[in-house]
Amino acid sequence: MTTGQIITLVVILVMIAILVALYFAGKKLQKKQEEQQEQLKSIAQNVSMLIIDKKRMKLKEAGLPAAVLENTPKYMRRAKVPVVKAKVGPKVMTLMCDEKIFDFIPVKKEVKAVVSGIYITDVKGIRGPLAAPEKKKGFFARFKKDK
C-alpha cells in the first residue's frame, strides 16, 4: 500500500468513528429531550392572559426571577430568547415562550395559553383562531408584479 492509500484509509476510519460517536450522543440527547417534554406536559396549566408585549432579548435583560438566571447554563445567558410580557389575572408577568409559537402570539389581545411554570408551550385564541403571521417577501419577490 502506498502512503496516500494509508492516509485515506486512516481518514475514513476516523470519520466513521466520529459518525458513530455522534449517533450515540444524538440518541442520548433525544431521550433526554423527550423526558423534559413529558415533565413540561405533566405540570401544564391552561391560563387566559392578555399579551402586553413580546420580543427576543437576553435573559439578563428580560427581568426573569434570579432563580431562573442561576439555573441557566452560562452559554445560554447571552443568547436571545423569546420573552412575552402578559397580564395573567391581576398580575403582569414575564414569561418565556417556545420558539415554534412565538410568531403566532398576537400582541394586545387576549389568548388562552398552556403554561408550564414560566414557559408558554401553546397558544389558542379566545375569540376565534389565531391568524398566521405574514411572511416577509423575498428580495426578488418584491419586484414581481401582482396579477
Q: Where are the domains of the chain?
A: 1-42, 44-125
**Cα 51 to Cα 86: distance, rounded to the nearest angstrom:** 4
Query: Given this model, what pLDDT does residue 146 score?
Result: 58
3-state secondary structure of 42: helix
Which pLDDT tens digit goes with each residue over 115-131? 998 899 999 888 877 77
DSSP state of 9: H
Side chain identity at residue 25, one-letter code = A
Query: Given this model, what pLDDT does residue 68 score?
Result: 85
- CATH level 2 (architecture), domain 44-125: Beta Barrel (2.40)
Query: Given this model, what pLDDT does residue 128 score?
Result: 75
3-state secondary structure of 132: coil
Alpha helices in the chain (DSSP H): 3-42, 59-62, 66-71, 74-77
Averaged pLDDT of the chain: 88
DSSP state of 64: -
Side chain identity at residue 35, one-letter code = E
Mean pLDDT within 22-32: 96
pTM: 0.69
DSSP state of 118: T
